[in-house]
Amino acid sequence: MRRSERMAVITKKLTSNPNQLISLSDFSDTLDAAKSTISEDLAIIRHVFGSLDLGRIETVAGAAGGVRYVPSMSDADIVTTVQQVCEELSDPNRILPGGFLYMSDITSDPSLMSKVGVVFATRFAHTNPDVVVTLETRGIPIALMTARAFNVPLVIVRRVSRVTEGTVVTMNYVSGSAKRIETMSLSRRALEPQTRVLVIDDFMKAGGSARGLVDLVAEFRAEVVGIGVLVETLEPAHKLVRNYESLVVLEKVDEENRQVIVRPSSWVSSS
């Protein structure tokens, strides 16, 4: 096999398995090439990925070592992705009675959410999470794609407890905006103590659900290391959690003039 062919195979294997350590022997067996040759191939991929901001190729030395692809996105690509979300959200046909916004098609768009997952993986890279946690339902695709980029498990907190979840911890909490009592419930098996948890959700208004997730995670003696939401509303300005990151700020849904006013969050525009 020639180098150009090996490059295609190695690149495919690395980028299809984000954050998974692949041994050099694995490549050298598949491609019938010496490890030193594979190392040279990897150096080329590392260099070109670095120069075009396509993510990092990391090498781990030693017997249990290997190489892995760490997805990350350039600032320019983050801006483009977030702008795409803003553009789709600002379509006035999304306005529902009561000033709500229909966004289920956006939050379950596989291609767009897979990019949003890499945006979150880039933004929260320093938090080094062991697991991504979300509250059903609409945030699941975003959370899954983020978990995939980090190569960590996804844990879905339920609103109702199901028999197939086994023993669960159920918590009542007060939704921040409507001041209604809601329930969330999580299987006892789903989260180990000391786990580093990244909370990912689709929407934050007052932050009641996020607050609830932080409290529920604490019941498992695990630790929330970051909170990411796709869309936050401008009002109320005071949220029930701190240190969260959103991609998009929903400033206003004007039912009368049929206008949706959204903008990228400040960290996005300034990056």
Residues that bind a second copy (CB under 8 A): 1, 3-5, 7-12, 15-17, 20, 30, 41, 44-45, 47-49, 52, 54, 96, 98, 100-105, 108-111, 113-114, 136-138, 140-141, 144-145, 147-148, 151-156, 158, 163-166, 187, 189-190
Nearest approach in angstroms of CB 62 to a second copy is: 23
Nearest approach in angstroms of CB 111 to a second copy is: 6
Neighbours of 36 (CB within 10 A): 10
Q: Using the minimum distance from each CB to a second copy, give the nearer residue, 234 or 266.
A: 234
Nearest approach in angstroms of CB 140 to a second copy is: 5
Under 8 Å between Cβ of 41 and 10: yes
| Strand locations in the chain (E) | 56-60, 66-70, 95-96, 100-101, 131-135, 154-157, 168-174, 181-187, 196-204, 223-233, 244-254, 259-264
CA max distance for the chain: 68
Under 8 Å between Cβ of 161 and 185: yes
Q: Using the minimum distance from each CB to a second copy, give the nearer residue, 7 or 174.
A: 7
Q: Using the minimum distance from each CB to a second copy, give the nearer residue, 167 or 270.
A: 167
Q: Using the minimum distance from each CB to a second copy, give the nearer residue, 9 or 261.
A: 9
Strands 66-70 and 100-101: unpaired
Nearest approach in angstroms of CB 85 to a second copy is: 15
* Axis crossing angle, helix 3-16 with helix 35-51, rounded to the nearest 10: 70
Q: Using the minimum distance from each CB to a second copy, give the nearer residue, 153 or 269.
A: 153
